[in-house]
Structure 1
Amino acid sequence: MNKKDQAQQALQAKLTAAYATMEKRITHPRIKDAIDEIKTQLSLGKGHIILVTGPAGVGKTTLSQTLEVDLQKRYLSEMNNNPGLIPVLKVEARATSEKNFNWKLFYNTILSQLEMSMDAPAGVAYGIDPHTNHMYRPLGHSKNTTDGLHAKVEYALRARGVKVLMIDEGGHLTNVSDSQMKRQTDALKSLSNCAECQIILFGSYDILGVSRLSGQLARRIEEIHFSRYKVDVADDVQSFYVFLETLESRCGGLFGGLLTENAPTLQENTLGCIGNLMTIVRKFVAQIQRTSTVTQGLLNRCLLTPGQHTRILEEIQWGEQCFDNETISTKEVRRPE
């Protein structure tokens, strides 16, 4: 084998390691701190809703996946004794083109994941038309009213022993008028009480409006900030650098030290959000595979554009202000247009 073939083989081995790393969750201090705080708040019991919020691209989906695995370990012995037990359930509050949040679709999603649809009273299956993106149901009389489905979900959650219900993309629930938001929050609180489970809502800063609706709701809602790594905080700069070191090591040295060499640039460009960083790294890996080279120019091409950076920064600054200022009203907790 000549030197060129050897170099190509070595590069391919590094690319394989990098792609394998991209498929895994890499924890960092922000995730650990957030999970510790969430687990502390879970001791409050049913009837409380935990809001986990942070900027777009900070890694909330990775946090929710890591938390799900961590909580399942807590109930492992119970799950071994009772194979039908599902103590932790993670669902997405799906968006459709409907004007209001589609509760019927949401409830059916929960029933489907609990594999309880066949045990519930007969009704009509709901879905999304792939051509129009509208909810549909077959013609004819249906017993699947929203209240009826709510009752089925309560029963299913209790039957499966769900202790924690995690809802991702919570902004789809709260991006409504104040009156609708209050009704929807009351519905979640009722679900928590009657099903005897705790609800964790993940979303961008929009979801903070829930806890600003009334004093009664504020008393039952706990806010947790899953924040970014700031460039003007020494500990954050160090943690971000260590994460880059870990990433380079796990990717088999593919980047040749370019990530750590560009740590200040990457932290500033990604606004200290690990999710944004991972998007850039994935693009960089794809470019390396395409060109069989690892250069500064390739990395620069993968960074956020000035326009993207400015827009994300505006939303982050607005969101952090909303989180830190408890006197901001619900109407002010709206994503800027």
Structure 2
Amino acid sequence: MKRPLMLFREHQSALDQAIFFAQFAEPGDICFCVGAGGAGKTSLAQILGPMLYGEQSSQQSGTKPFILVSLDAADRAYFSSKDFIRSCLLELGDPFRSRVEDVSRWELAPEIKQRLVRLTSLHSSRSHGEPEMRAAFVNLAKMLGVKLLIIDEANMLRLTQKTRVPTDYLESLRRLGDKAGCSIILFGTIDLLGLLGHSAQLNRRTSRIHIARMSCRDECGAIEFTAFLKGIEIDYSITPGLLTEQRFAVHELTYGIPGEIVGLVKRAKMTAGAEGVELEWKHVSKAGHLPMAWKQMITEADLIESTMEGTGSMPDPRADAAHPKRKIRMKPRRTANSKYSS
């Protein structure tokens, strides 16, 4: 089980800022919400919409004030803007994938249902490209009153095809939100930093939020971190005090990143289970990352913190030393035995 999200001030601060942005942003405004891997970005993305507008079941019929989509592209090696639009349409009741009889059963206002039936009868996802799908999303978003588009795993925007530049997608998102009448919040990790500050025109329409790691530098932080560890001990049936009494050592092993703490505990319990013994501190202390991975975890967290807090230089999107961009090969490599090789 995961601990409740609101256990420490860093998360509460990020949530408060995201709520404030959503309430006062104008259509087309974009907010970058960036944190280290395991900082709790997905959890924050999932609760933001319901906290602002209520659960879907409590919303007025025929309305959808927010949608949440993920850019996780496990089935491909690059970001696809068409697949992104398709995901957005699915959240709104995609007319390209629905049948007229399906739309007729939806609980929508009569005038909206009538327009959707007409749209569904005229369109097919097999015969329409991205421009038509974007137009359909804009129309649906306006009809359903979408105010906020929440995008998780937005760092996938950096994984582009050879003919595209990541900032092209950012400009496209801004225009999409402007036309659809909604603001946009991007949740991502270190790769998302490369999209910050790329043009003066977009800079005035963007905000940034840092999802910080937990800190033990002051008494309040130490108390909150201890409370978080107590929750982990309860959730994973760990002997009380095993983690809390070693809170500073746990913080050093995980750098105060919630997801890293959970991963540490899972690895330690796996080792103890394989040995057929109860979990002890020696299992936890040996479950930390290898030195190279531990150093990378700290480097990325520090880079995100310095960039988002404005105390460090903006990373170069073309040469990110901490986390280099993957090269995408769109064509199969020719071999020496190929009949086309020279």
CA contact (8 A) 2:19 2:48 kept: no
How far off is 1:97 after superposition? Answer: 6.7
Aligned match of 1:89: 67
Structure 1 stretches lacking a partner, 5+ long: 1-21, 125-141
Aligned match of 2:304: 319
Tell me whether 1:258 sits opposite 2:242 in the alignment: yes
Aligned match of 1:17: none
3-state SS of 2:243 partner: helix
Quick one: structure 1 residues 213 and 38, their matched pair in 2 at CA, closer, same or farther if it must change by over 3 Å? same
Residue from 37, 40, 49 that aligns with 1:68: 49
Aligned match of 1:9: none
Aligned match of 1:304: 289
- 1:2-27 per-position Cα deviation (integer Å, ceiling 9, x unaligned): xxxxxxxxxxxxxxxxxxxx156442
CA contact (8 A) 1:175 1:206 kept: no
Where in structure 1 do 4 or more consecutive aligned residues deviate above 6 Å?
A: none
How far off is 1:35 after superposition? Answer: 0.9
Aligned match of 1:331: 317
CA distance in 2, matches of 1:217, 1:198: 13
Code of the residue aligned with 2:209 in structure 1: it is: I
Quick one: structure 1 residues 27 and 292, their matched pair in 2 at CA, closer, same or farther if it must change by over 3 Å? farther
CA distance in 2, matches of 1:296, 1:231: 20
CA distance in 1, matches of 2:168, 2:53: 31
- 1:201-225 per-position Cα deviation (integer Å, ceiling 9, x unaligned): 0001322332311111110010111
3-state SS of 1:201 partner: strand
How far off is 1:199 after superposition? Answer: 0.8
Aligned match of 1:244: 229
CA distance in 1, matches of 2:319, 2:133: 30
Tell me whether 1:174 sits opposite 2:158 in the alignment: yes
3-state SS of 2:165 partner: helix
- 1:215-243 per-position Cα deviation (integer Å, ceiling 9, x unaligned): 11110010111111234455433321222
Tell me the C-alpha RMSD between the 2 structures: 2.8
CA contact (8 A) 2:3 2:232 kept: no
Residue from 126, 142, 147 that aligns with 1:158: 142
Which structure 2 residues correspond to residues 1-337 of structure 1 after superposition, within 5 A? 22-23=1-2, 25-28=4-7, 29-42=9-22, 43-73=24-54, 80=58, 82-95=60-73, 100-117=78-95, 118=98, 119=116, 120=120, 121-124=122-125, 142-176=126-160, 180-248=165-233, 250-251=234-235, 254-285=238-269, 291=276, 293-323=278-308, 324-325=310-311, 328=314, 330-331=316-317, 334=320, 335-337=322-324
Quick one: structure 1 residues 178 and 169, their matched pair in 2 at CA, closer, same or farther if it must change by over 3 Å? farther
Quick one: structure 1 residues 31 and 230, their matched pair in 2 at CA, closer, same or farther if it must change by over 3 Å? closer
3-state SS of 1:90 partner: strand
How far off is 1:307 after superposition? Answer: 2.9
CA distance in 2, matches of 1:260, 1:214: 46
CA distance in 2, matches of 1:148, 1:299: 54
CA distance in 1, matches of 2:70, 2:207: 20
Report the more deviating stretch, 261-270 or 60-69.
60-69
How far off is 1:325 after superposition? Answer: 4.3
Structure 2 stretches lacking a partner, 5+ long: 99-115, 325-342
How far off is 1:303 after superposition? Answer: 2.7
TM value normalised by structure 2: 0.76
How far off is 1:81 after superposition? Answer: 6.1
- 1:165-201 per-position Cα deviation (integer Å, ceiling 9, x unaligned): 1100111113448972332112111111111111110
Code of the residue aligned with 1:27 in structure 2: it is: M
CA distance in 2, matches of 1:329, 1:292: 46
CA contact (8 A) 1:178 1:330 kept: no
Code of the residue aligned with 2:73 in structure 1: it is: A
3-state SS of 1:56 partner: coil
- 1:67-91 per-position Cα deviation (integer Å, ceiling 9, x unaligned): 2331232x77xx6462332222111
Quick one: structure 1 residues 274 and 252, their matched pair in 2 at CA, closer, same or farther if it must change by over 3 Å? closer
CA contact (8 A) 2:30 2:184 kept: yes
CA contact (8 A) 1:212 1:330 kept: no
TM value normalised by structure 1: 0.77
CA contact (8 A) 1:178 1:213 kept: no
Percent of matched pairs sharing the same residue: 23
Report the more deviating stretch, 215-224 or 86-95.
86-95
CA contact (8 A) 1:211 1:217 kept: no
